[in-house]
A and B are shown apart, each in its own frame.
Chain A
Amino acid sequence: MAENKNLISGATGDWEIVLGLEVHAQVASKAKLFSGAATEFGAEPNSQVSLVDAAMPGMLPVINWFCVEQAVRTGLGLKAQINNYSVFDRKNYFYPDLPQGYQISQFQQPIVGEGAIEIDLADGAVKEIGIERLHLEQDAGKSLHDQHPNMSFVDLNRSGVALMEIVSNPDMRSAAEAQAYVKKLRAILRYLGTCDGNMEQGSLRADVNVSVRKPGDELGTRCEIKNVNSIRFIGQAIEYEARRQVDLIEDGGTVEQQTRLFDPKTGETRAMRSKEEAHDYRYFPDPDLLPLEFSQEFVDEIAKDLPELPDEKKARFINDYGLTPYDAGVLVGEAENAAFFESAAEGQDAKAVANMVIGSVFAGLNKADLDIADSPVSAAQVGQLVGLIADDTVSGRSAKEVFELMFEDGPDQGKNPAVIIEEKGLKQVTDTGAIEAAVDEVIDANPDKVAQAKERPKMAGWFVGQVMQATGGKANPQAVNKLVMLKLGLE
């Protein structure tokens, strides 16, 4: 095994963090897992509740096959074992937001078995994280404690919404790896379209299992941090929890197996319940539902229209477009970004396009807090602008200005870069005569600098800068450089 460079140091030496994640991903389905009720986010409380979701007497669950398809699709995307026979179990416990008094889940026989995903580490290496299983289950409702001074209310809109619980092996060794894992998993889900990956709305949330040990030792006792709902919080929760465990052990204590909660306000985790208080869920096969069975053809049919996934796309970007692994990795993070890049790169220098997409488009969108779908500059315009740089119509420096103008105009104005260049007079000057005149002017005005430049040829850069400034950035830099060298007698 590769040496772990992510050890954290304690008073008694270095410690290794061991992390496994259980990610709950809401299936992108308009209807719930066992009822036809809607699943739209943000609806009026209890406006999306069927008789089944409210667990009225005599109501029975009926499997939503669309959700089954999404689970299979996700399993295929995780290169995992698909189980053509799986079983729904009841997980029994009492809670006001759990109307049936049990959650329908899959315990012993999940729909998807072992798989793996690859994550990119900071040093450029790739690490494989094992997936233990994926199973389908119902979400619970929500208790509202702020509606009445001494009563709690319950909103059942989420009750029965389909979740995929994706369980990793304890393969991660740092907060950064866990974050990279969630990012990658989220990207895969979004590529597949099986989960919208919206962590703010709770469509994707993670239970993080944290333990620490001295390198080479047996696994330590783990604590599970429940329902962490942002990638940043996942990092904070792990850092805090690992440090807490190390300090505890080094102070002579022992880590207790616990379920803990992360508080984003304090950045700390606190105990929810210990192992002794843990529920006995009394899992047993749900007698209201037949085992979930489907044919290999059903799976093959889904496999047929599986999209290109992030890893494959990245490899293709490196091979076909000659991008660096880093740029390719950035571009494939979101399917929409990759598509934007590919559209812009059509017929253009792909590396230059990648630079502009990452450097200008992403930066601009980030600053303006916009999604790529709402980008004021279209992919076609990015492609055109790169083309105009390549054929020397505009200098790189002026191109930045053109981009900013397009970005400000927004898509409604729809002015193409060529039009803006024309209107603003940003066309690059390639006329040697005009450039020569500007060079002569600068040389004549600065005899002292000319003398210096003869001693130190690097000074030539200063002259180039002056000329560029004098021509308002429109002069072709290569042409200016050549002339400056020539006139200064440095060539």
Chain B
Amino acid sequence: MTDLTQLNLADARDGLAKKQFSAVELTQAHIDRVSASSALNAYVLETPEKALAMAAESDAKIAAGEARPLEGLPIGVKDLFCTKGVRTTACSNILGDFTPPYESTVTQNLWNDGAVMLGKLNNDEFAMGSSNETSRFGPVVNPWKAGDTALVPGGSSGGSSAAVAARLGIAATATDTGGSIRQPAAFTGTVGLKPTYGRCSRWGIVAFASSFDQAGPITHTVRDAAMMLSSMASFDKRDTTSVERDVPNYEAALTGDIKGLRVGIPQEYRVDNMPAEIEKLWQQGIEWLKAAGAEIVDVSLPHTKYALPAYYIIAPAEASSNLARYDGVRYGARQQGTDIDDMYAQTRAAGFGDEVKRRVMIGTYALSAGYYDAYYVKALQVRRLIAEDFTKAYEKCDVLLTPTTPSAAFEIGKNVEDPLEMYLNDVFTVTVNLAGLPGISVPAGLDGDGLPLGLQLIGQAFGEETLLRTAGVLEQAAGFDAQPQDWWSA
């Protein structure tokens, strides 16, 4: 039998349907691989028994001819998603051994469609980070290496991207607040899709910044991303920011035909110091789409340079309030104190890592009396202008093509002491979150060190079908089939 962990989601689905292997076999192959992968630190909790039980149920469904869309397909879940009866920590000490008595809507949707849970995946603490180095469980190591140098897998969904790249799960759930799906996908040669804000329910996902947070998949292929999104997306009465709108069959949108599609190239994304390789790849992407019959249009997103500062005010502001509930009173870790205020201080000082503290402090400051108008209100105005930039651009085009990141994966520890340098990782992705639009990163090539690079497509609100169709064409043209060498299996 072939190595079942080498299959992508669509192929595994077809193999199961043809009874070439069972869901239990498929799951067992992944469990074995996961258990040998501790060098990557992608999983923070493995749930093999649960996985096998779910897989056995899937086999019964398949045998009964009642296979659901993701029947028997083993996936990993970012530790930001609350999973009933399974420890959920957002990779923060402050949640201790918190075990939710409820299941997030997105993961419930996946289980309802037959998917199998392999375990919980590492991420930056509370999804705050671009390198997966802020996790309480320690950094995730990118399966891709430049020589002997250990690299970050991107963040905050670094466990998800590393797991998919290292084939420790056929797909993974992830979340994207400022680029946390697309940037790690770009760093690991995987596909990362951030849907339109409101497409997936946020209910049961540990909140970072509520007006940005959105769940999405990290997968091997664009088709796999479409399959995952078809299950993950739903209107949810329990999340009033989710949008009541039918969920199309996204896989059906992958026609491969983009003739006449207008692809916008935003001039402001040519930033200073962008590596020539990335510039070149971007140009290559333009050529690929042109060759497939798309029309290339130059567009302007004039407020792009204000996006990062605005994001790093609004997101921390929301986070400072969202994280107030972690106070040691009702659940999670508590440090005793001399009185209630001291208990709060001790608990939060011990429970939060440096990056979380930094953002809570920035956010608290930005919302303080006397600073609110100068920072928070101003940032909201910028946010509106950025959304308007996109609206205007979309009068001239249907999707936008940009690089996903300004660099390939970097060395672990390189940016830890320089938060601003770290924040610059989000420069191409964060505008999409500010405008609430869908974006996807597609692996498009390797740099001189043999590291993967991604191109980003940005769609119109709820334009996931066009976005995926275009991404499919880009994927086809790029023909990216490189894989990291397995140096980690024990």
Contact = CB atoms under 8 A, between A and B. Distances in A.
A289 B203 contact: no
B88 A284 contact: no
Given A152-B340, A289-B240, A280 B369 contact: yes
12 contacts: A54-B330, A55-B330, A58-B205, A59-B204, A60-B202, A94-B324, A99-B325, A101-B324, A101-B327, A282-B364, A284-B318, A288-B241
A282 B367 contact: yes
Contacts of B325: 55, 57, 99-101
Q: A-B pairs with the 7 shortest C-beta distances?
A: A101-B324, A287-B210, A282-B367, A287-B211, A55-B325, A58-B204, A57-B206
A92 B340 contact: no
A117 interface: no
A60 B329 contact: no
Contacts of B409: none
Contacts of A51: 101-102
B356 to A, nearest CB: 14
Contacts of A290: 240-241
A19 B102 CA distance: 49
Interface residues of A, number: 29
A154 interface: yes
A102 interface: yes
A55 B324 CA distance: 10
B467 interface: no
A186 interface: no
Interface in B95-125: 95, 98, 100-102, 104
A58 B203 contact: yes
Contact of B88 (A57, A63, A92, A102): A57
A387 interface: no
B327 A57 contact: no
A60 B211 CA distance: 12
B104 A58 contact: yes
Interface string B440-480: 00000000000000000000000000000000000000000
A57 B100 contact: yes
Given A51-B102, A280-B368, A287-B318, A58 B207 contact: yes
Interface in A51-73: 51, 54-63
Judged by DSSP, the binding face of A is loop
A282 B344 CA distance: 18
A284 B367 contact: yes
Contacts of A92: 320-321, 324, 367
A63 B241 CA distance: 12
A190 interface: no
Nearest to B332: A57
Interface in A100-117: 100-102
Given A55-B330, A60-B239, A62-B237, 7 more contacts: A56-B331, A57-B100, A58-B100, A62-B239, A63-B240, A100-B325, A287-B241
Given A282-B367, A284-B317, A288-B210, A58 B324 contact: no
Given A57-B90, A58-B104, A60-B202, A99 B330 contact: yes
Contact of A102 (B81, B82, B204, B321): B321
B329 A154 contact: yes
B324 A59 contact: no
Nearest to B348: A94
Contacts of A56: 100, 102, 331
Interface centre among B318, B325, B367 (most CB of A within 10 A): B325
Contacts of B204: 58-59
A51 B81 CA distance: 15
B340 A58 contact: no
A474 interface: no
A58 B240 contact: no
A100 B327 CA distance: 9
Contacts of A410: none
Contacts of B101: 51
Judged by DSSP, the binding face of B is loop
A288 B240 contact: yes
A56 B204 CA distance: 9
B432 interface: no
A220 interface: no
B42 interface: no
B394 interface: no
A222 interface: no
B217 to A, nearest CB: 18
Contacts of A57: 82, 88, 90, 95, 98, 100, 206-207, 325
Interface in B343-385: 344, 364, 367-369, 372, 376
Contacts of A202: none
Contact of A100 (B81, B237, B318, B324): B324
B238 A284 contact: no
Contacts of A101: 321, 323-325, 327
B209 interface: yes
A90 B237 CA distance: 21
Given A59-B203, A287-B211, A282 B368 contact: yes
Nearest to A154: B329
A58 B368 contact: no
A264 interface: no
Contacts of B344: 94
A56 B206 CA distance: 9
A96 interface: yes
Interface in B295-314: none
A54 B330 CA distance: 8
Interface string A281-322: 011100111100000000000000000000000000000000
B82 A58 contact: yes
Contacts of B88: 57
Nearest to A101: B324
Contacts of B331: 56
Nearest to B365: A282
A154 B327 CA distance: 13
Contacts of A100: 324-325
Contacts of A59: 203-204
Contacts of A288: 207, 210, 240-241
Contacts of A284: 317-318, 321, 367, 372, 376
Interface string B229-241: 0000000011111
Interface in A75-94: 90, 92, 94
B345 to A, nearest CB: 10
Contacts of A283: 367
A287 B209 CA distance: 8
Interface in B200-251: 202-207, 209-211, 237-241
A137 B344 CA distance: 25
